[in-house]
Structure 1
Amino acid sequence: MADDEHNEAAVRTFLSCATEVARLMDLEDAADVPETRRARHLAHAARKPLLERAHLPEELFASLMAAAVHDPDPSFCRWFVEPAVYAFGRRRVLTALLDYLRTGTDAEQAGAERAWYCAHVPLHADRSPAYAPGGSRDPALDESLDVRDEWQETLRLSAK
């Protein structure tokens, strides 16, 4: 596959992922935005509402992870990862990224590596209503040392 075809396929995949997130969030479909900018427009439209909600529907988790992994811009995949970390916990996000690293396509594995970095965003009680009153949070949501060890082991084995 030529580079242009590969990039075009990657853009279409990301657009599909961003569209699904927007659909699950009941956001506008952005049909009036040129296709070349539609995915980024949808991601931008979803960012604030994702962070403002104390709880996100379970069905949104896989779509957020797919959008994060397929986002071609490493600066923006955080827009999907950060709300997922707040709502579903760092452990679950890192586990999903580890699954992409182990079983995903080459593009998904590269996307998982980009998103892995973003999944270590510092959490702040004043940034998300996902925290209980008083700024508390179940620590089990974010315990992930074992997942980090598995990530390192998977990278080590894939380098052989």
Structure 2
Amino acid sequence: MREPLLERAYLPEEFFTPLMAAAVYDPDPSFCLWFVELAVYAFGRRRVMTALLDYLRTGTDAEKAGAERAWYCAHVPLRADRSPAYAPGGRRDPSMDDSHDVKDGWRETPSRPAR
């Protein structure tokens, strides 16, 4: 099911919240990547990282731990062969992937769960 979705340049808006929840609640970092990568390609790195930062700031301890796992996956390289949005001739607003300020917010957030 993941591959056909990954092949699309965009996904319906209603996919975003369930994808992020699946990424945060999945305890296996390998499977977490499946949800995060799909969300990054469909909705942009900035939006994904912002959602993860929100989990880190306001979530339960379990959600904060899940956000940390997913944060690592959110740095997935953006490749033209993975999504038509990044292919030659694809149209992708670069601001969707600009995440420098969100990364700063992540580093400044002291509420990470104890390991």
- Do both share a fold (TM > 0.5)? yes
Structure ID, larger Rg: 1
The runs of 5 or more residues in structure 1 that have no matched partner are: 1-45
The runs of 5 or more residues in structure 2 that have no matched partner are: none
Question: Which structure dedicates a bigger proportion of its chain to helix?
Answer: 1
* Aligned residue among 8, 22, 32 for 1:67: 22
Distance 2:17 2:6 in 1: 17
Runs of 4+ in 1 over 4 A off after TM superposition: none
1:35-114 correspondence to structure 2 within 5 Å: 46-114=1-69
Could you say which structure has the greater relative contact order, defined with CA pairs below 8 angstroms and 6 or more residues apart?
2
Deviation (angstroms), 1:76:
1.2
Instruction: Name the TM-score, length of structure 1 as normaliser.
Output: 0.66
Distance 2:31 2:2 in 1: 10
Instruction: Name the TM-score, length of structure 2 as normaliser.
Output: 0.90
What is the Cα-based RMSD across aligned positions, in Å?
Answer: 1.5
Q: Cα deviation per residue 1:74-127 (whole Å; 9 max; x = unaligned)?
A: 111010000110111000000000000011111110000000000000001121
SS of alignment partner, residue 126 of structure 1: coil
Deviation (angstroms), 1:49:
2.1
Residue identity opposite 1:87 in structure 2? A
Residue identity opposite 1:119 in structure 2? A
> Are 2:85 and 2:91, in contact at CA under 8 Å, matched by a contact in 1?
no
Q: Cα deviation per residue 1:105-160 (whole Å; 9 max; x = unaligned)?
A: 11110000000000000001121123364255321011011000000000xx226x
